[in-house]
Structure 1
């Protein structure tokens, strides 16, 4: 990386960029994570007990998750739901990315990208709350369905995980669309035309030509959406019901309602390990490396 930056900007500028990047990684990523790990291995003690015989390293905070049936169930549900959100976002984003990269004219693509980006100029809380209004029991969606005669009584869209899924797909769709778009755009159109000339249908062309070429983009999008979904707090807090709690809400409760930062740090670190494991699994399944994803 230093050689590339040096060739483009010169050695002094490249050295400054690498130094700032290293400082950012150390101060904003490495040190906070090390502090969180240290917190997670300490018991929650009164100030007078800190430094005493009870202040020792322990894995009791991690064991709590496996001994608490409710928290364990929410943890597993968060994993499964985040995977489902990732798959739904991929299913929605792939046709859109293909249209933007290979079907739409430059003017149409620019307009479509603008329409995708403009809503994200608004704060995530407000965008999520708009879905809360839209999916409410007496909200616009139910009123339209009632007026069309498609339903006989309003549907409680926010009573389960459906509202959370919709909100997350909408909230993180750009993190899937743009990696896919970048990957598909670099595909030589002659390969697609050659496949069609040889008799391959649309599905087979995508399965044999487009998807293998777009693997880095798919892997990047899946990793980003899963990590954002698993770590989301605002969307499940606003669109979820009491029976559809997210693991991040449990972490928040440990930190700010229970005042047990040690237990919260242990839960947060377990979530981090989960996200890293998912990232490694996706890279292995798609047979891509960090260099491929960085492109």
Structure 2
């Protein structure tokens, strides 16, 4: 704060703080407060609002535990989002390490550009691209049949596998760049010293690189999990009736069932889940908010 005051002066600093406070109040705090208020009220017609039936209740929250189908979808969303996060971490870690510690300074801008350019396209279009790739007569099935892996085309859409593959691709940058930023600050001399002392690559990564990259891993896992758990477009396009996501249930409550109170309760449960994952990730990787902010 002292540095901000020195750089911008008291007037401009006050304007910036006021703008941030208004942004947080109007776009973050107020919508969440309204959602919580909706979630604890019954769904009533306008003529009965404010009447004796319009009281706070936990009935909307209890619906999730009594509806076995919705509970199963909720639990499936948790483990599938965790699987998306773990798969994205496994795919992105070698890429981030190569960019941060192996790639030359001349090639690095081109490699990063190659990663970023596909994501200039809208998320829906990128998801539709995977819809075409995974289609029954799509290029992936044609390739697998041509290589003799499958005797006939397989249905790759409509299940959890297609949704997970699509999510890993859609959210890959949210894992790559936090990892890259963390690993890039590692002094290469530490890697060379570990190698000179006889450590193999697995031990170097386990004892040197991974401990240094913990803040980046935590940020990447948090962002990927939250985006995966809150995704609607990817499961709606690549999934099917057997691979419904919890966000699709929330959407149905709001826009098809017309029960905003029940939808708000489900949305708040999902929000609590994401907050719980953030706290668990911070504790698991033993990092604080200050470490992540770096």
Which residue matches 2:109? 110
1:108-130 Cα distance to aligned partner (Å, 9 max, x none)? 22111111111111111010000
Alignment of 1:87-126 (within 5 A): 87-126=86-125
1:179-229 Cα distance to aligned partner (Å, 9 max, x none)? 000000000111110000000000100100110001000000000000000
**Are 1:142 and 2:128 counterparts?**
no
What SS is found at the alignment partner of 1:106?
coil
Alignment of 1:68-87 (within 5 A): 68-87=67-86
Q: 1:20/1:212 Cα in 2 relative to 1: closer, same or farther (>3 Å)? A: same
1:239-278 Cα distance to aligned partner (Å, 9 max, x none)? 0021000000000000000000000000000000000000
Which residue matches 1:209? 208
Alignment of 1:241-252 (within 5 A): 241-252=240-251
Which residue matches 2:176? 177
Displacement, 1:230? Answer: 0.2
Displacement, 1:155? Answer: 1.4
What TM-score does the superposition give when structure 2 sets the normalisation length?
Answer: 0.98
Which residue matches 1:13? 12
How many residues align structurally? 294
Distance, in Å, in 2 between the alignment partners of 1:43 and 1:190 is 62
Displacement, 1:149? Answer: 2.1
What SS is found at the alignment partner of 1:164?
helix
Gaps spanning 5+ residues in structure 1: where?
none
Displacement, 1:19? Answer: 1.9
Distance, in Å, in 2 between the alignment partners of 1:267 and 1:7 is 46
Provide the aligned C-alpha RMSD in A: 0.9
**Are 1:161 and 2:171 counterparts?**
no
What SS is found at the alignment partner of 1:157?
coil
Displacement, 1:4? Answer: 3.0
**Are 1:273 and 2:272 counterparts?**
yes
What SS is found at the alignment partner of 2:157?
helix
What SS is found at the alignment partner of 1:284?
helix
What SS is found at the alignment partner of 1:237?
helix
What SS is found at the alignment partner of 2:50?
coil
What SS is found at the alignment partner of 1:142?
helix
Which residue matches 2:197? 198
What SS is found at the alignment partner of 1:243?
helix
What SS is found at the alignment partner of 1:162?
helix
Distance, in Å, in 2 between the alignment partners of 1:28 and 1:266 is 19
Distance, in Å, in 2 between the alignment partners of 1:219 and 1:25 is 24
Distance, in Å, in 2 between the alignment partners of 1:17 and 1:147 is 60
What SS is found at the alignment partner of 2:243?
coil
Gaps spanning 5+ residues in structure 2: where?
none
Displacement, 1:152? Answer: 0.7
Distance, in Å, in 2 between the alignment partners of 1:47 and 1:247 is 28
What TM-score does the superposition give when structure 1 sets the normalisation length?
Answer: 0.98
Displacement, 1:12? Answer: 2.9
Displacement, 1:59? Answer: 0.5
Displacement, 1:18? Answer: 2.0
